[in-house]
Amino acid sequence: MNKKYEMDMTSGNLFLKMFQFSIPLILTGILQLLYNAADLLVVSNFSGDKDALGAVGSTGSLISLIVNLFMGLSVGTNVLVARMYALKDDDGMRRVVHTSVILAISMGTLVGIFGFFMAKPLLVLMSNPIELSVVYLKIYFIGLPFNLLYNYCAAILRGVGDTKRPLYFLSVAGITNFLLNLFFVVVLKLSVAGVAIATIISQLVSCILIIHCLIKTKENYHFSFKYLKFSKHELLETLRIGLPAGLQSSIFSISNVLIQSSVNAFGATAINGNSAAQSLEGFVYTSMNSVYHASLSFTSQNVAAKKIENFKKVLISALMIVTIIGVVMGGSFFIFGRTMLSIYTKIEQEIDVGYIRLHYLTLPYFLCGIMDVTCGVIRGLGYAILPMIVSLVGACGLRIIWIIFIFRPLTDFVNPVDLNYLYISYPISWIITFLAHLICYFICSNKVKKRIKLSYNIE
């Protein structure tokens, strides 16, 4: 049987395989970011609304806060699919695939409805002064079911080692998004509403393509409507593994929402500059986050295959790859940051603000990457709660404490308070959390190795 898209992650050169696995995933993540970047570029250059850039960019942290909880559940899908693939469990794979599809549709619909009706109250809580942000957010949430369904199906393909086809599908959707952006904004003059509509149409395109892929495949992860039902055991396992990851992502977003709220207090110039910088740094983060997903899939397959000698190889390979990506991309964005920011805005004060953020986030960004990768390996080992607690206390908790007890009191004594004091909390939290994760990895991997050795003795 032709296995041109799948990958055995338990044998051969794991560094090379992980690199090959990560490249399409990196490109896929970048294409997803281009949705938002295209929105920002088109509205800032062609809409004529001076607040359009901030309206689109300032919603990112709020969208992450609401969406990431349910997007995180796809981590459970990824881990379970990788296990079933390594075990060659066709029945288990079928139950995981169809349970995940139903979960994506139901969660996407519920969250989409909530986000649509709560858009304005939530933006008011964030002290967002831009009315156009409400328009963008409401339309964005209409398309959320398509977004979640695509990502859950992509998690299924990642679990079997296929990162190429999601890239192909997203390439088509990305081109669709850009062309529709130009049509709705330049031709129809719909401004912020236009780029939001273009985004959900392109998400629908990627969703249709990936569902069609799962329907047509002859492999054991085939999707069929006649098998579309919840499986209680697979649902509970998906929630057990994925819910902590989703909670971690959502609560992480709380710290980012607090930071965005702090930036909002500086006015439209700060909001616009920060939005442009966030868009740029997102390309570095999503590239490193792709290695996190690789470490998750590789570790899961090796645990299922009982290849304990590969645990450390997976971690070291992932740390090497993510460090290279973080240093090269982060350093490049730091060096050429002002030029890149000028693509989004020509206003010098906004570029200045954006470059402050890039200074503190892109140059040491590899620290964030190694923190996430270590967390991914621990999840792949089967530990879901521990990395969540460590991440929330070490990274999220520290940032919240920083904002409440250091940054905000400074606003009373330092006039004007410098955004440097706000952004420096990121690299500090990354270092502390990585070290804690590393300790947890050694503890967890030793426990899994002992359990596997014991199972051999029993057998």
Q: Is the dihedral of CA 23, 85, 79, 230 positive or negative?
A: positive
Q: Are 448 and 308 in contact (CB under 8 A)?
A: yes
Residue 174 and residue 33: Cα distance in Å, rounded? 9
Rounded CA gap, 193 and 272, in Å?
18
Stretch 21-40: mean pLDDT, rounded? 80
Helices 311-335/425-458 angle, 10° precision? 160
Q: What is the mean pLDDT of residues 166-189?
A: 90
Is residue 301 within 8 A of residue 82, CB to CB? The reply is: yes
Reported as a single tens digit per residue, the pLDDT across 405-425 is 887 777 665 544 467 777 888
pLDDT in tens, 54-63: 777 677 767 7
Residues 118 and 62: beta-carbon distance below 8 Å:
no
Query: Domain residue spans in the chain?
Result: 14-458
Map residue 14 onto helix, strand or coil.
helix
Is residue 294 within 8 Å of residue 22, measured between CB atoms?
A: yes
In this prediction, residue 141 carries a pLDDT of: 92
Number of neighbours of residue 289 by Cβ within 10 angstroms: 20
User: Do the beta carbons of residue 191 and residue 185 sit within 8 Å?
Assistant: yes
How confident is the model over 81-117, as pLDDT tens digits? 999 999 999 999 999 999 999 999 999 999 999 989 9
pLDDT greater at residue 42 or residue 370: 370
Tell me which of 454 and 156 has the higher pLDDT: 156
CA-nearest of 389, 334, 340 to 362 is 334
For residue 171, count other CB atoms closer than 10 A to its CB.
16
Instruction: Kindly report the average pLDDT of the chain as a whole number.
Output: 87
| Nearest CA among 334, 354, 329 for reference residue 342 | 354
Q: What are phi and psi of 7, to 5 degrees?
A: -145, 135
Q: How many helices (H) and strands (E) does the chain have?
A: 20, 0
Residues 6+ positions from 81 with CB-CB distance below 8 Å: 93, 96, 97, 155, 156, 158, 159, 160, 221
